[in-house]
Structure 1
């Protein structure tokens, strides 16, 4: 039944509070409660919310704020220091994951095109899961946090080129392949100049007005996110650039603290929309292949990152930590599936396989991190780090 946005929001947050309470009592990650709620009351469950795509559009703002906050917590010099290492590891690991995804889906009888697109979808790890479970006040200032962010940003760029590739295959893409390479340094340069000559003078002049600083930060974040999207990059990359160019500002930590509740509000919607989008009636047709693919992802990604990172003289404990935090597929994988289906390049069965694999790996990867590594939502006081 069709419901208005206020009633839908009521159902989401009232239901989330109940399931999250149950999850905490039973020592489960709260992210699982949000996904389960979407599956339960979404269009393929009891149908109390039958238009999750509207909420999904809103929930994307949470990802934008998440990347903005990450940028605020990282100094530009720290990011540059890991770019070379992240590039080599990111490209090598993506090739391994593509070949594994292609081979497995081909063996399960999927078409060659389905296998190619599913292989492409497996190249990426989740920015949301990886960074939502990364303590902002501890690990972002260490080498591991910088390395993870470098890897995820590289994967974002690969995702952009994957989407361009799908458009070229369909034959309707007007975007030159070289455009993102030109757009990225231009956007960084414009952002740096805007911060130095516009934002910092405004912050210095009106630093007593906290409400104004809050609005200015949100406006800057969303403006650069939109500019990145118009420049054929992504909202996430624009938001990260917005954050990192403000990282040296004296109000960076004030903005970071102020925006965390807003970020969490939209991220709840994201995980709800993820669960609500899973078609349970078609799930049996891909159950075996989805479980197999998920097991391969959950095992192969930590091992691959561990081997590659150890090859660059990283500590074994750090290599496993990064590997398990990136041991799932990505929200970009869902976007690749959506674009491929719209372009008639991917079958509905192939799309469902990507969705099911994403949810399985999101859930199990979250359990692994929450119960074994420092994170903001750990059920153990020893591991809980905000």
Structure 2
């Protein structure tokens, strides 16, 4: 019996290592191909997941381990983005970011709900689709802008700030819709979640960041472990990601705020930035390939589902571009377009909303597939437009 268990464990380890190899290698090969085509590498990495996933070549099956690596990958990605973003730069664009976030929630939700009504879906189905269209996956946009060295641009800071607000608003919308689907609406719980979410962001941005800026430089003298700054940064990243998750905010927001909290301290620490970049380059492909692996192409055997997916995706793109673009109109047409397109990707956030609806039994498998297609399609659509829109923009305009 012990021998059989040992053999089973060895085979599991072999399959795991082979899967990790295939994911990482496919991601980097496709990234290279798309870079040579002058397209963002992120598209190639997502399409790598579609190719090697269970619905095309079937080389790798999504599992709990690949999901965990995906979660760690996007947490580290948003942490590294936070390292390039000083709290003061976000506060400066706070008013515009708030307007962008609100319009980027109201318009997609109303349009998604209305479209489902036209298709004859139930009220709850319409609201779940609308909620999935509210989400913004800033990880994809951040990956593209970071690769272009454009995270310091005004429109980039607005996108990042709006994404934080967008996550909180989306969380509240999801809480209301999920409560209605369950048969009641717990306003006390929703209000508590809202208060905790806003309080968490305020404490990190306004209190923790200045405190770390003052005191962290003094800590190095008494620490004997190697790469202490890197270790402390990862501890802070994981700690705030976990805290955000417990409060009810997405873990990636906690990771982003952790990076932002030490942005001032780490600005001149090139070794820390290099170490974070190395870990991020290793982990992020698991996040991007993981998105691609979830796209079930078999749902498109039904032309009604195909057309619904096309309409949902089209409206998801237009409502974010128009809503968020109007919110950033003070930047001019080009700046408004940058913000609008930057807020388009739904990525893993939209997928999570759809999974909740499916788990509660309030949306069908086909509607889940439609939302999944929309989440991945919007993630693929935005990057090719971001590059030309930011091509002639200064890094810190």
TM-score normalised by length of structure 2: 0.84
Show CA shifts across 1:75-122 (max 9, x none).
222222222222223112311111111122322333322111111111
Q: Residue in 1 aligned with 2:176?
A: 165
Q: 1:19 aligns with which of 20, 24, 30?
A: 30
Are 1:242 and 2:258 matched, yes or no?
yes
Which whole-Å CA distance do the structure 1 matches of 2:54 and 2:185 have between them? 32
Correspondences of 1:144-293 after superposition (within 5 Å): 144-169=155-180, 170=182, 176-184=189-197, 185=199, 187-188=203-204, 191-192=208-209, 195=212, 199-203=216-220, 205-206=222-223, 211-250=227-266, 253-254=269-270, 255-285=272-302, 286-293=305-312
Q: 2:111 aligns with which of 100, 107, 119?
A: 100
| Moved >4 Å (runs of 4+) | 171-175, 196-200, 250-253, 382-385
SS at match of 1:353: helix
Say whether the 8 Å CA contact 1:163–1:339 is kept in structure 2.
no
Say whether the 8 Å CA contact 1:42–1:48 is kept in structure 2.
yes
Shift of 1:231: 2.2
Q: Residue in 2 aligned with 1:368?
A: 385
Say whether the 8 Å CA contact 1:71–1:244 is kept in structure 2.
yes
Length, aligned pairs only = 376
Q: 1:359 aligns with which of 376, 381, 391?
A: 376
Shift of 1:196: 6.2
SS at match of 1:18: helix
TM-score normalised by length of structure 1: 0.86
Looking at secondary structure, tell me which structure has more helix per residue: 2
Q: 2:133 aligns with which of 115, 122, 140?
A: 122
Shift of 1:67: 2.0
Show CA shifts across 1:11-47 (max 9, x none).
1122223333333344443222222222222122232
SS at match of 1:314: helix
Which whole-Å CA distance do the structure 1 matches of 2:394 and 2:377 have between them? 24
